[in-house]
Amino acid sequence: MEMKQSMMMDRENEGGEKEKGEESSQENGRLMLADGGVAEKGDPKVNSGGGSGGVSNGYPTSTAPSPKEGAGGVPAGALRTLVVQQTSLDQPRETWSKKMDFLLSVIGYAVDLGNVWRFPYICYQNGGGAFLLPYMLMAVFGGVPLFYMELALGQFHRSGCISIWKHICPIFKGIGFAICIIALYIAFYYNTIMAWALYYLLASFRPTLPWTTCSNPWNTVNCLRYLSTDSNVTWTNTSISPAEEFYTRQVLQVHLSPGLHQLGSVSWQLALCLLFIFTIVYFSIWKGVKTSGKVVWVTATFPYLVLLVLLVRGATLPGAWRGVVFYLKPDWGKLLSTTVWIDAAAQIFFSLGPGFGVLMAFASYNPFHNNCYKDALLTSSVNCLTSFLSGFVIFTVLGYMAEMRKIGVETVAKDAGPSLLFIIYAEAIANMPAATFFAIIFFLMIIMLGLDSTFAGLEGVITAMLDEFPQLLSRRREWFVLGLVCVCYLGALSTLTYGGAFVVKLFEEYATGPAVITVVFLEVIAVSWFYGTSRFCADVHMMMGFSPGLFWRVCWVAICPIFLLFIIVSFLAFPPEVKLFDYVYPPWTTVLGYCIGVSSFICVPAYMVYHLLTAKGTFKQRLLKGITPVPSGPHSDIIITHAV
């Protein structure tokens, strides 16, 4: 008899013994009696095995205990109920040590580098305080419902993003494989940004920060040292700050590469920095959520401490108020522009991060009755507030830079993305008292913000593969994680070349954005229209004792698909003009970028064709089988029978 692992026992028991009962129910070979008795396989105190007194597989029968065995017995020969709990020879599913481990992991995943550099830039670019209106609307009607849906799916089905589809809509299983490929592409370039930050961190352990002077070998004649004490120096349009030259000519060495057609050699300094980053990543996730759940207590909380320190310091700088006014001054006319709403939708989507398989993976390690509804509201709120707080941290410093150079804030804030952190903010830190201290904690914060998201992204892939191929990988997790990290490192080598910054930008614009949004669009359609919101809400009710309200149902069925379709169409109608420094990406790079994006998404139609070709029966039967979910959940793991 093939045995399955039990996930839930005694659903009516709403008391505090749920988790204990769940853990104890995972012991193999146990028979639970309706009167509270427990019999073990091969128990010498009862009849077992091959005679009339045994149940199949060596389980004892429910013979009534004698008076000597206790007062709780029933009269001999009375009808007794047997609750046979099916168990498994496989190891029970790992769970979080504490609820806070899960919350910090989700917050650490959602709060990443984009919260620090992308949100403030998009906010001031799209009307300042007026941008908060479309941002909040997109969060309430699009981002948070998707966030909630993925947590609930992962927690109920207790599976990664590949194997979960057999319980939802088997023909859409290609979505899981596409998510894993997208996660690999992200790992190829995202960790390189942390390698840059590590380079800066190591360079900060000097009495004089190297990006404050123009006397270094990498500096040019246009370098202009412009500190707050240099009142006799005039800043011109041709001037280049030492911070910008340190970033472009020493860290990236981008001047040695003419473009994507000739990337140049690998920078050995950045290669060593990235190797150190991946070493930290490996030893943080190799044992599963038990280890990564402990690491995030540092990596998820330390950035908030640094943000508060930098906010207090930035607020005391001269000219800080100019930056804050520029950040929040509403321009209501901008709301009439379609671009503002596109940016708001894209920002909230990439900030919360549904569709990357991470939320499903993290939630699958939760107790079955965990209230993921509260978790979704809490973590998504923390994420949005962090983005808002980061804007003050960034723009107080930009106001200070504008005051110091006697120019407008909009001129200082012309750079977006990593340049905002590695050039503008690094230069501002260099002008502060105790510059070395602030530089160290700032770049430590950048590294930790990135580490959380890397832990999560790779855990999504690991959980998906281990759940899909348990016989092959479940007992070889450490080796599989090592192989995955090595693949990510080798894939990232192109981003460590002299032209590596161009590759990072290409991946960022094309490889992940359109593909993951399309994947999530199909995910919502599969869950809401094929699996059905009624069935999904029944699953949520089984877990938490209440069903999602009308608002959530409408969002899942109609608003979220429209929200995602709106972003997809906007990407196609208004393709981004990709430019980095003085390099304008030629047309062939756009084709290359879309090819990389399609290479992941192609898994979805490819698996549909594979499923229809390999299934048995007529075409109609194959199609029906492809959209019919396999039952899932703890309710299928309990058999109730009667015996005398």
Take residue 308 and report the two structure tokens written for it: 């508060």
The 3-state DSSP class for residue 83 equals strand
Residue 452 sits at the vertex; the CA angle it makes with 536 and 374, to the nearest 5 degrees, is: 35
Q: How confident is the model at residue 330 (pLDDT cuts 50, 70, 90)?
A: confident
Q: Residue 231 above 80 pLDDT?
A: no
Q: Residue 441 above 70 pLDDT?
A: yes
Angle between helices 587-601 and 513-525 (to 10 degrees): 30
Take residue 72 and report the two structure tokens written for it: 């709780």
pLDDT of residue 399: 86
**CA diameter of the chain:** 104
pLDDT of residue 175: 93
pLDDT of residue 91: 59
Q: Which helix (H) or strand (E) holds 579?
A: strand 579-580
What's the number of CA atoms in the CB half-sphere (13 Å) around residue 410?
A: 7
Predicted model pTM? 0.80
Q: Assess contact for 364 and 152: CB atoms under 8 A.
A: no
**How many CB atoms lie under 10 A from the CB of residue 361?**
29
Q: How confident is the model at residue 3 (pLDDT cuts 50, 70, 90)?
A: very low
The 3-state DSSP class for residue 479 equals helix
Of 501, 510, 497, 502, the residue nearest 575 (C-alpha): 510
Name the CA radius of gyration of the chain, rounded.
28
Q: What is the dihedral of CA 436, 437, 443, 444, to 10 degrees?
A: 140
For 534-561, write each residue's pLDDT tens digit: 999 999 999 999 999 999 999 999 999 9
Long-range pairs for 366-369: beta carbons < 8 A, 24 or more residues apart: 366/95, 366/96, 366/102, 366/154, 366/155, 367/18, 367/19, 367/22, 367/95, 368/7, 368/8, 368/22, 368/155, 368/156, 368/158, 368/543, 368/634, 369/18, 369/543, 369/544
Q: Assess contact for 395 and 186: CB atoms under 8 A.
A: no
For 153-175, write each residue's pLDDT tens digit: 999 999 889 999 999 999 999 99
Type of residue numbered 245? E
Q: Compute CA distances 141 → 135, 392, 623, whole Å.
A: 10, 26, 32
Q: How confident is the model at residue 80 (pLDDT cuts 50, 70, 90)?
A: low
pLDDT of residue 30: 40
Q: How confident is the model at residue 522 (pLDDT cuts 50, 70, 90)?
A: very high
Of 599, 590, 421, 419, the residue nearest 509 (C-alpha): 590
Q: Compute CA distances 532 → 72, 75, 413, 561, whole Å.
A: 46, 48, 47, 14
Take residue 136 and report the two structure tokens written for it: 């909040």
Number of helices (H), then strands (E), in the chain: 28, 8
pLDDT of residue 632: 64
The 3-state DSSP class for residue 423 equals helix
Q: How confident is the model at residue 329 (pLDDT cuts 50, 70, 90)?
A: confident
Take residue 476 and report the two structure tokens written for it: 């070889």
Q: Looking at per-residue confidence, does 123 or 148 come out higher?
A: 148
Q: Compute CA distances 380 → 15, 285, 322, whole Å.
A: 29, 24, 30
Q: Residue 89 above 50 pLDDT?
A: no
The 3-state DSSP class for residue 43 equals coil
Take residue 317 and report the two structure tokens written for it: 């700088």
Strand partners, 83: 32, 640
Take residue 509 and report the two structure tokens written for it: 């614009």
Phi, psi (degrees; rounded to nearest 5) at 642: -130, 145
Residue showing tokens 């040292």? 225
CB-count burial class (<10 Å; 0-12, 13-18, 19+) for 62 = buried
- Residue 499 gets which letter from DSSP? T
Q: Which helix (H) or strand (E) holds 38?
A: strand 38-40
Of 487, 156, 134, the residue nearest 339 (C-alpha): 134
What's the number of CA atoms in the CB half-sphere (13 Å) around residue 143?
A: 24
pLDDT of residue 36: 42
